[in-house]
Amino acid sequence: MSDNYERIHRFFTDLGFSIYRTERFDSFGDYIIEACSPYFCLKGVSDRSVESLEARSLNDSENWYDMGLVMTCAGQKGKLHEAVNLETDMKFVETHLDELITMFDEENYPTTKTRLEKLGMLRAKEAFPGLFPN
């Protein structure tokens, strides 16, 4: 079972985020922790013991973006397929909090969303080139 559940919970609250959902599952020690600040939301996820963070706009509760895409969108990561781990995710959020606030604010989010969607499609095309026409 993961020992990062409490750590992520504390990380979010230390950043000033309010926790609004916590869920633990019996299988693999999986969990979900969702938290929002006045600016954007974060989610800590453990899925079959793979842990990561995701981000979303306050005004778009349907679209969560993994930190690999967010880092690439922010110009902090060069390759869409590089493995990102929880440590990297947390460090990125901590050191780029102001940039994340700007990316996900009401004014900038439409542009951010478009960029994240394009990066997601590019990553899918690179991972599964036979499924997409040129």
Distance CA 31, CA 112 (A): 27
Encode pLDDT of 23-34 as tens digits: 988 777 789 999
Contact 29, 3 (CB under 8 A): no
Amino acid 75: pLDDT: 82
Tell me what the mean pLDDT of segment 51-55 comes to.
93
Encode pLDDT of 75-95 as tens digits: 876 666 666 789 999 999 999
Global pTM reads 0.90
